[in-house]
Amino acid sequence: MQSSFSDLEYTAKKKLTRRDRFLAEIDAVTPWQALITELEPFYPKGKGPGRPPVGLERMLRMYVAQQCFGLSDEGIEDAIYDSQSIRRFVGIDLGREAAPDATTLLKFRRLLETHALTRKIFDTINGHLAAKGLLMREGTIVDATLIAAAPSTKNREKARDPQMHQTKKGNQWYFGMKAHIGVDADSGLVHTVLATAANVADATQAHALLHGEETIAFGDTGYQGVERRKEQSGLNVDWKVAMKRGQRKALPDDEIGECMNLLEKAKASLRAKVEHPFHVIKNLFKHRKARYRGLAKNEVQLFSLFGLANLVLARRQAMSIDTQGAS
């Protein structure tokens, strides 16, 4: 196929931007064919009158770019026209065709939502990474983060989202939801995701964040007493939960107290891995506020976000493994 002037101009660029490099790495590590295989049975075939549907891979790439840059449906449509790197990632040549519009992407997102396909995207990505040896099964770190929701009542219902709630953290009140995750203690990759209202206590969801094969689990002070909860009965898991600040300050100033303090530091160092996926979705993907009303739609998006976050976190290792395998 003949290259357009836009493609030739892009290829001749003397400097690759951070966006160029990021998209090239995501393109390289994403298991596109496996994802297409999972989604294809649910995607419209276009047999009949009317305009044929946009190709599945193109819609999937547009959706991935949207999630990675925290854009609205209209925002990613505009970005395709504005950015050569995004246009190239999605596979659009404006000299020959128009970009899929926001309405087309909305229909694609609703398809993913209706058939719970973002969970399949998450599981497919994790299966791909596990096949490369990047997901272990011995230990899990659990944690949760608050995601704000719009508190405004200036909407059709004249009310705040009834599925979101407020909670107090420190001296500040927050309104929204919580994203709870279970993370592989070795790689720091997310293996379990669930969403609740913000006022749900972390410890009540701990059992749901375990995959069932781990022998040890770690949590911060919000999980104090988790091993005594009825949901944990029958689970052969050794919980290592952080000591409360007051307890730690009260440690004796002797050899035993020093050893216990060192143990707490070691646990904290290991637990830090759980912050990396939160950093990716909140700071890199700009997902600091719930985009939709209701928990179900927001949980659907979380599966995509954390699946892509796993690719971001593992991309250099995965590319190194691929390079070694090719040599």
The enclosing domain of 173 has a CATH number of 3.30.420
Token readout for 213 is 């094969």
Q: Is residue 157 part of a domain?
A: yes
Residue identified by tokens 């593992």 is 314
- How far is CA 69 from each of CA 22, 123, 272, 307, 308, rounded to the nearest angstrom? 11, 22, 24, 14, 11
Q: Is residue 226 part of a domain?
A: yes
CB 141 within 8 Å of CB 223:
no
Regarding whether 150 and 67 lie in a shared domain, the answer is no
- pLDDT for the residue 2: 43
- pLDDT for the residue 11: 56
The candidate with the shortest Cα–Cα distance to 90, out of 118, 67, 122, is 67
pLDDT in tens, 120-174: 999 999 999 999 998 877 899 999 999 999 887 777 777 889 999 999 888 899 9
Regarding whether 240 and 180 lie in a shared domain, the answer is yes
The candidate with the shortest Cα–Cα distance to 239, out of 261, 260, 210, is 210
**Where does residue 133 rank: exposed (0-12), middle (13-18), buried (19+ CB within 10 A)?**
exposed
Q: Is residue 129 part of a domain?
A: no
Element (H, E) at 176: strand 172-184
Regarding whether 140 and 102 lie in a shared domain, the answer is no
Regarding whether 41 and 158 lie in a shared domain, the answer is no
Q: Is residue 127 part of a domain?
A: no
Regarding whether 92 and 173 lie in a shared domain, the answer is no
Q: Return averaged pLDDT per consecutive 10 residues of the chain, 327 residues in all.
A: 51 75 95 97 76 86 97 96 95 89 96 97 96 88 95 78 91 94 95 97 95 93 92 89 87 88 89 96 96 94 98 86 65
282 HSE (CA, 13 A, CB side): 14
> In this structure, how many other beta carbons lie within 10 angstroms of the beta carbon of residue 103?
11
Q: Is residue 124 part of a domain?
A: no
Overall number of domains in the chain:
2
Q: Containing domain of residue 15, as a range?
A: 5-115
List phi, psi (to 5°) of 44: -55, 140
Task: Tell which of 115, 148, 170 closes a domain.
Answer: 115
Regarding whether 191 and 76 lie in a shared domain, the answer is no
232 HSE (CA, 13 A, CB side): 17
- pLDDT for the residue 190: 97
Regarding whether 158 and 98 lie in a shared domain, the answer is no
- pLDDT for the residue 7: 55
Query: Rounded to whole angstroms, how far apart are CA atoms 130 and 142?
Result: 19
- How far is CA 161 from each of CA 73, 180, 195, 289, 290, rounded to the nearest angstrom? 22, 20, 15, 13, 11
Question: DSSP character for 284?
Answer: I
Q: Is residue 101 part of a domain?
A: yes
Regarding whether 229 and 274 lie in a shared domain, the answer is yes
Regarding whether 212 and 68 lie in a shared domain, the answer is no
Q: Is residue 62 part of a domain?
A: yes
